[in-house]
Amino acid sequence: MADLKEPPGPTSPPSPPPPTATTTTRALRGASLLILLQILSRALTFIANQILLRFLTASLLGVSTQLEVYYLSVIFFARESLRVAIQRQDTTTLSASLPSSSSSTSTSSESAKDRKDGKSEDGKDAAAAATQAVINLSHLSLLLSLPLSFLFGRVYLSSLSLSTLQSTPYLVPSLYLYGLAAILELLSEPCFAVMQIRFQFGVRAAAESVATFLRCAVTLGIAVWGARTGREMGTLPFAVGQCVYAVGLLAVYLWKGWKLSGREGFSLWPRRLLLSGDEKQQREELEKDKSKVGGGKKQDLFVLGYFYRPTLDLASSLMAQSVVKHILTQGDTFLVSILSTPTAQGVYALANNYGGLLARLVFQPVEESSRSYFSRLLADSTTSPSPSSPSSTSPSSPSPSSPSSKPSSTALHQASTSLTTLLKSYLLLSLPLLVFGPPASSPLLTLIAGRRWTSSSSSATTVPVDSAPATLSLYMYYIPLLALNGILEAFVSSVASEAQVHQQSLFMTAFSLVFAGTGYLTLKVWGMGARGLVVANAVNMACRIGWCWGFVGRWFAERTGAGKTGEKGGKEEEEEREKNDGEGGKEKVRFGVLDVLPKPGAVAAAVVARSVVGRVVGAGQQEVVMGAKEAVWELFKIAGVAVPFVVAVAIAEREFLLSGYRALQGKRQQQKS
């Protein structure tokens, strides 16, 4: 410690940007880029899958879905909680806790350009050290993947029946390849974390685009080659394609990350981090904030000198929730594998792939970007240091999720407005889906998947009548629930304290029992097949939405002076916050059900359009085997009703649409200026 530089003053570490239009613009730009990426990659995957469906049976598709769940389980448990915790990491506190220059993140002497621009070498070193802390934590994902891949693989093999093992070629080698793919993909996690905290979404877009193209090309190539040579390839094309995807992802991330690390002065390998200043004083300050260090015990800020303790503690708390969340997310596959046949699993996988396409193209990228946006917005508004307040960079400053924290009224209003806008936009997008999705299911499947997936025959080469078209039709009613739950849980994960995370885990455990009970009734008692899974998922998702909605409402109420949330009364706290925030404190923060519901005119248009479509298309068309021409004609009639419906909704919601357009125009003008 003798040869270290003196720690910088309390105002030396770079503070994060305030919650202004810059953060919002970068988040919106990132979300737009991710949506475009999803559209392009999913379009490519979609085309490849349509060709693959000609070579697949329903049972083989069901087994490949199980392998994908194994792969996703390893990935999810190894990195999900760490990703969320890293996104919520307080960069101001972390930078203040790190040395201005250390052996782990030291850079070369200050360049002439830096001296000319007046940039501080100490500030660069602190930023590099903060990045190094993120990289160190990300390497834990790789360590977790090794035992997880082995454990889950053994569990999956033991659950397979002898008939499935004998009838599916290359099943065991495919399982090993999926495990290898998970480990290879997690090797890129440190680079991903660096790009994510720096809002460099372009790197992710490039990596996933290259990886997706390679996976589609290899998977399709092996399947076509096997069909032409008369070889039964089984699930091997999917497994090899997933390995190639992981290699492509790793190559692009390493290339970009290596160049950035050389320029910024951090390492992609784990490196030891040292405390700055008086270590004893820092420990005493940390003892005052028991929520960060676990009960006020004397602990170092960095575990083993590598891992930032507050972030690691939060990740540990999120791990229990991740287990329950993954069971709920992939529980449909677990349940159907226990209670149904591989053929039914394949049918549900088909409906899930097509029905969830909108969720993966639009909702998932928006959810990921929103999580980063809300975390940064509300954390920055609470913890942004003031030059005149040395204690503002103290590690013991409250987090935005703690009950005593009070984000500024401007940040609260911005967060409430953004969340309300997203939820209402989702509901408006859901209207045409609910109206035209169910009647369009059968003709769409005829054109996309082929007639044997919509046939009512019960032969060995076809699917039972109550499966693909009917399941996809019912799935359309489930998609709006997916959308609402995704954005609400993204907000909850951005602001919830550790105690609230534990509470959410308990409720999600209860919801998982509700899901299992509903699934047993629909699959075993009522014999609904794959449709029963959709019903069980919808019930579970409605429970999760209800809990998240209540949490969000309480969270805003506690921070807008509705009741006593601290030592002072709510009214006194509100007056003090308005005084500190100036004019921004006068903005009223609102979040309610009526603010997100569509206008009565839009709902009326949906009811009328649904009635007209039912008359035009005709009842019971889902069970009619039609050719390509008949399918196109049915879709054409549905489109004829859709056009006036969209116009009617646009008129009813003109105020909301115009306000959104003005907001986007204002952000573009701010960006240009």
Residue scoring higher pLDDT (9 or 409): 409
Give CA–CA dist 660/648, Å, rounded. 18
Most confident of the ranges 532-541, 642-651, 659-668: 642-651
DSSP 599: P
Average pLDDT on 546-575 reads: 68
Residue 104 has pLDDT above 70, yes or no: no
Amino acid at 403: P
Instruction: Name 307's bridge partners.
Output: 303
Give CA–CA dist 309/317, Å, rounded. 12
Tell me which of 19-23, 177-181, 191-195 is least confident.
19-23
Q: In whole angstroms, how far apart are CA 261 and each of 94, 108, 264, 265?
A: 19, 13, 5, 6
Residue 611 pLDDT grade (very low, low, confident, very high; cuts 50, 70, 90): very high
Question: Sign of the C-alpha dihedral, residues 229, 235, 239, 245?
Answer: positive
Average pLDDT on 16-28 reads: 52
SS3 234: coil
* Confidence (pLDDT) at 19: 44
Neighbour-count burial for 498-520, b at 16+ CB within 10 Å, e otherwise: bebbeebbebbeebbeebbebbb
* Confidence (pLDDT) at 368: 78
* Confidence (pLDDT) at 102: 41
* Confidence (pLDDT) at 663: 79
Residue 581 has pLDDT above 50, yes or no: no
DSSP 245-276: HHHHHHHHHHHHHHHHHHHHT--SS-------
- 457 Cβ contact list (under 8 Å, min separation 6): none
pLDDT digits (tens, 9 = 90+) for 403-423: 445 677 888 888 898 999 999
Average pLDDT on 164-186 reads: 93
Residue 390 has pLDDT above 90, yes or no: no
Tell me which of 320-329, 409-418, 625-634, 635-644 is least confident.
320-329
Residue scoring higher pLDDT (357 or 285): 357
Amino acid at 497: S
How many residues comprise the chain?
673
User: Across all residues in the chain, what is the average pLDDT?
Assistant: 75
| CB of 381 closer than 8 Å to CB of 410 | yes
* Confidence (pLDDT) at 513: 87
Q: Which two tokens stand for residue 405?
A: 């924290």
Average pLDDT on 29-51 reads: 71
Amino acid at 395: P
Residue 476 has pLDDT above 70, yes or no: yes
Residue 298 has pLDDT above 50, yes or no: no
Residue 249 pLDDT grade (very low, low, confident, very high; cuts 50, 70, 90): very high
DSSP 54: T
Which residue's entry shows tokens 């401007």? 410
Q: In whole angstroms, how far apart are CA 72 and each of 76, 318, 329, 483?
A: 6, 18, 11, 20
* Confidence (pLDDT) at 222: 93
* Confidence (pLDDT) at 600: 94
Neighbour-count burial for 530-563, b at 16+ CB within 10 Å, e otherwise: bbbbbbbbbbbbebbbebbbebbeebbebbbbee
SS3 303: strand
Q: Where are the domains of the chain?
A: 23-109+117-271, 320-384+410-595
Give CA–CA dist 81/322, Å, rounded. 7
| CB of 451 closer than 8 Å to CB of 627 | yes
Most confident of the ranges 151-165, 221-235, 241-255, 582-596: 241-255
Burial (CB count <10 Å: 0-12, 13-18, 19+), residue 456: middle
pLDDT digits (tens, 9 = 90+) for 482-509: 999 999 999 998 888 878 888 888 898 8
289 phi/psi in degrees, rounded to 5: -110, 85
Residue 262 pLDDT grade (very low, low, confident, very high; cuts 50, 70, 90): confident
DSSP 3: T
Query: Angle at CA 301, nearest 5°, toward 295 and 302?
Result: 120
Average pLDDT on 113-131 reads: 57
Percent above pLDDT 90 for the chain: 25
* Confidence (pLDDT) at 119: 44
Residue 176 has pLDDT above 50, yes or no: yes
* Confidence (pLDDT) at 239: 95
Residue whose C-alpha is closest to residue 532's, from 344, 296, 275, 373 = 344
User: Would you state the torsion angle of the CA atoms of residues 538, 82, 547, 433, taken in this order, to the nearest 10 degrees?
Assistant: -40
| CB of 551 closer than 8 Å to CB of 492 | yes
* Confidence (pLDDT) at 407: 72
